[in-house]
Amino acid sequence: MEKQLTLQYEGLELKATLHYPKGEHDRTAKHPAIVICHGFIGSRVGVDRLFVKAARALAARGSYVLRFDYGGCGESTGDYGALGFDSMIDQTRTAIDYVHGMDCVDPARIALLGHSLGGAVALMTAVKDKRVKRLVMWSAVGYPFNDIVRIVGRHGYDEAVKKGGTDHAGYALQPVFFESLMQHQPFQSATRFGGQVLLVHGTSDDLIPVDYSFLYQKVFWTRSEGLCDKEIIFQAGHTYSSKTHQEEAIRVTSEWLDGLDRKQQEWHHWSI
């Protein structure tokens, strides 16, 4: 079952879709919850419906999955180019508020799944919000300002600074948007997240270098707690646009989350 929602955040209406676990009958049972964070000028549908497919697959394996449009994207209200990175973190926390408030959600199994810029947003949200226990980063941005300026083009950035805005794919990006990207360094902040991490990246990603995931893993490995696994998908592009690559990204993510659940159950029984 899927339910359309509207989340309220500082006057914005954030359109969202909640996927229910398949075969959910016991209302007293506690389920994992996953919030999907889309990337730069994206939407909760995803390129080639990636997030729709991922949400349905994860729900079929027993999780509540919430995917939503950031302000000014998809069906949500607002001006994306006037908001920025900090706003996206707070919008993500609004989505976490929703799933955390559900009686049927296990608060110890709340995960963020972020793609591209959404991967960096998910990480920085997880650092800030201790309710996040699990983090999945698909083709994650490592240097928000540099990576997005490379995508927009230096000319576009210069135009935004000089004229107060630039048009990129129909989105009016203001200087405040770029300034917000400068304020965050995910690689430096990664050690402050103590939960479990899965990194997924394609070798043919022409927007965000696959090397970022190798560097992320090295940083996460320096932590005193929390595991970090990595899955590199051969010839997959930035948006996993082929059927094979989509299925592979979704499969490794599902199996990784299932593995965490099994370990948690085994530890619970052992501790009893």
Q: Which of 198, 215, 214 is nearest to 253 (CA)?
A: 198
Domain boundaries of the chain, sorted by first residue: 2-143+186-271
pLDDT exceeds cutoff 60 at 151? yes
Model confidence at 22, pLDDT cuts 50, 70, 90, reads confident
- What pLDDT does residue 28 have? 75
- What pLDDT does residue 263 have? 82
**What is the rounded CA–CA span in Å between residue 71 and residue 91?**
8
Q: Which CATH architecture has domain 2-143+186-271?
A: 3-Layer(aba) Sandwich (3.40)
The set of residues, in sequence order, having a beta carbon less than 8 Å from that of 137 and lying 6+ positions away, is: 114, 119, 122, 123, 197, 198, 199, 200, 213, 216
Helices (H) and strands (E) in the chain, counts: 10, 10
Q: Which pTM value belongs to this model?
A: 0.96
Mean pLDDT score, 124-141 = 98
Range of weakest confidence among 186-200, 201-215, 226-240, 257-271: 257-271
